[in-house]
Amino acid sequence: MSETPTLFTWEFATDPYPAYGWLREHSPVHRTTLPSGVDAWLVTRYADARQALADARLSKNPVHHSEQAHHKGKVGIPGERSADLMTHLLNIDPPDHTRLRRLVSKAFTPRRVAEFAPRVQELTDRLIDGFAKTGEADLIHEFAFPLPIYAICDLLGVPAEDQDDFRDWAGMMIRHGGGPRGGVARAVKKMRAYLLELIHRKRADPGDDLISGLIRASDHGEHLTENEAAAMAFILLFAGFETTVNLIGNGTYTLLRHSEQRAQLQQALADGDTALLATAVEELLRYDGPVELATWRFATDPLTIGGQDIATGDPVLVVLAAADRDPARFEQPDTLDLTRRDNQHLGYGHGIHYCLGAPLARLEAQAALATLLTRLPDLSLAAEPSELRWRGGLIMRGLRTLPVLFTPEG
Ligand code: HEM
């Protein structure tokens, strides 16, 4: 590739890595016009990416966007503005961010996640039961998509009879790339109304769930307001949903295309050795992770990244997928190596916005991949890679469908 590659086309969505390689080498902090019409800087080198993710002069709050009046609704999570759900962790800076993150961390603890492991295993098995006898499945639709939504609903304390509503609303949100934007806004509004009502109910009758924990959490006598609790539940759902769908989807797809390494992982699982599963999930995140670009950041002061001057108010998008293939940081970055140990990838971000749900994501991805490979050992792709379609959204990277074949369970 000798000229500036064309970004954000369907071909690019299928395999963005050659284009990112070109940018890393020739234009590591690259000004581009996004398909939405918004101008932004793309940061593609690992060292620059790490610096930018932790730079306090890059605000998460869209009020700092110089073009904000003109591009309302084009930055951030679809539907969040019209549903009044803007005050969540991914849109705010310290000191508000510090306060909210401290409060949520009191409720969303590693212990709560660890105690949730048997439930995740149960959900995983139940979903695989749904197709294991048929010999074929679309793993996105039947497995990767429902698992995280049911898991987060359970964790939050959404009653079982209401979880299919969430599945529908989440489906609207994930399809927004090709669907009507009004539909997304409606789905997000319904989700918010539901969450507010659930918060009221849990306040009157608390349980052992995360929503009750969020209501109870207090820091120096301070609590979350109901609006803050609703925005927090929303961001946990949003941030924890499509990401995990795509980690399971992209991860399975990558394993199906690397038969030797997949066989090695299957052997380790059969031997009861789970160490490889842990490094494998990290490598799958680095190699083709679900969050292609970190979320929006806006310069609050003039600054320089990788030698490039950035003006106040400019949007900056850190390309995690490009940074995680940077040969200056990773040995043979384009090679999948499930045993890779020196693997400080940026798939979960870096700095104060580092993924709050990483322990849950790891738990779900490890359960999903281990159970799939163990129960359906001869799983194979039922389509040519060139026939598969990627979603083509800006921030997330994931497949629309993942058709597979396998010997039915007897
Ligand atoms: C494979 C799955 C996941 C990946 C790859 C992932 C990735 C990320 C990344 C890259 C960020 C930082 C974004 C930025 O700085 O712009 C982030 C933040 C966040 N993630 Fe995750 N995530 C995953 C799963 C989850 C889950 C399961 C939850 C919770 C249920 C979650 C909750 C959050 C929250 C609340 C934030 C915002 C933290 C803050 O701003 O302080 N994520 N995630």
- Which pLDDT score is estimated for 178? 43
pLDDT digit string (tens) for 127-153?
Answer: 999 999 999 999 999 999 999 999 999
Atom of ligand 1 nearest to the CA of 318: 16
Q: Which residue has the higher pLDDT, 144 or 228?
A: 144
Question: Is residue 9 scored above 50 in pLDDT?
Answer: yes
pLDDT digit string (tens) for 41-100?
Answer: 999 999 999 999 999 999 999 999 888 766 666 777 766 766 667 778 999 999 999 999
Whose alpha carbon is nearest atom 7 of ligand 1? 348
Q: What percentage of residues in the chain have a pLDDT greater than 70?
A: 94
Question: Is residue 287 scored above 50 in pLDDT?
Answer: yes
Phi-psi region of 76 (alpha: psi -120 to 50; beta: other; left: phi over 0): left
Ligand 1 in reach of 349 Cβ (< 6 A): yes
Identify whether the C-beta of residue 7 lies closer than 8 Å to the C-beta of residue 27: no
Q: Say how far apart CA 37 and CA 19 lie, in whole Å.
A: 20
CA of 40 to the centre of ligand 1 (A): 22
- Which pLDDT score is estimated for 362? 97
pLDDT digit string (tens) for 364-382?
Answer: 999 999 999 999 999 999 9
CA of 369 to the centre of ligand 1 (A): 20
Ligand 1 in reach of 290 Cβ (< 6 A): yes
Q: What percentage of residues in the chain have a pLDDT greater than 90?
A: 77
- Which pLDDT score is estimated for 69? 65
Ligand 1 in reach of 281 Cβ (< 6 A): no
Confidence of residue 1 (pLDDT cuts 50, 70, 90): low
Give me the helices (H) in 34-130, please.
46-53, 96-107, 110-115, 117-129
Sheet holding 380-381, edge to edge: 136-138, 403-405, 380-381
CA of 240 to the centre of ligand 1 (A): 6
Atom of ligand 1 nearest to the CA of 155: 30
Select from 348, 369, 396 the residue to mutate for testing ligand 1; criterion: most ligand atoms less than 8 Å from CB.
Answer: 348
Question: Is residue 180 scored above 60 in pLDDT?
Answer: no
Identify whether the C-beta of residue 74 lies closer than 8 Å to the C-beta of residue 33: no
Burial 103-138 (b: 16+ CB within 10 A, else e): bbeebbeeebbeebeeebeebbeebbeebbeeeebb
Closest by CA position to 266, among listed 122, 406, 119: 406
Atom of ligand 1 nearest to the CA of 247: 1
Question: Is residue 212 scored above 80 in pLDDT?
Answer: yes
Atom of ligand 1 nearest to the CA of 92: 40
Q: Say how far apart CA 224 and CA 214 lie, in whole Å.
A: 7
Closest by CA position to 299, among listed 71, 62, 32: 62
- Which pLDDT score is estimated for 368? 98
Rounded mean pLDDT, 169-185:
68
User: Whole-number mean pLDDT of the chain?
Assistant: 92
Phi-psi region of 351 (alpha: psi -120 to 50; beta: other; left: phi over 0): left
Q: With H, G, I as helix, E, B as strand and everything else as coil, classify residue 367.
A: helix
User: CA–CA distance from 42 to each of 150, 156, 275, 297, 393 (Å)?
Assistant: 34, 35, 35, 11, 15
Rounded mean pLDDT, 190-198:
91
Strand pairing class (315-318; 297-299):
antiparallel
Give me the helices (H) in 157-209, please.
163-174, 181-204
pLDDT digit string (tens) for 243-260?
Answer: 999 999 999 999 999 999
Question: Is residue 292 scored above 60 in pLDDT?
Answer: yes
The predicted model scores a pTM of: 0.95
Ligand 1 in reach of 240 Cβ (< 6 A): yes
- Which pLDDT score is estimated for 182? 66
- Which residues lie closer than 8 Å to 313 by C-beta, 6 or more apart? 64, 65, 66, 67, 298, 299
- Taken in order of first residue, the domains within the chain and their CATH numbers are 10-405 (1.10.630.10)
Rounded mean pLDDT, 218-224:
78
Question: Is residue 2 scored above 80 in pLDDT?
Answer: no
Ligand 1 in reach of 355 Cβ (< 6 A): yes
Question: Highest mean pLDDT: which of 83-97, 214-228, 383-397?
Answer: 383-397
- Which pLDDT score is estimated for 218? 75
Select from 282, 355, 356, 360 the residue to mutate for testing ligand 1; criterion: most ligand atoms less than 8 Å from CB.
Answer: 355
- Which pLDDT score is estimated for 172? 82
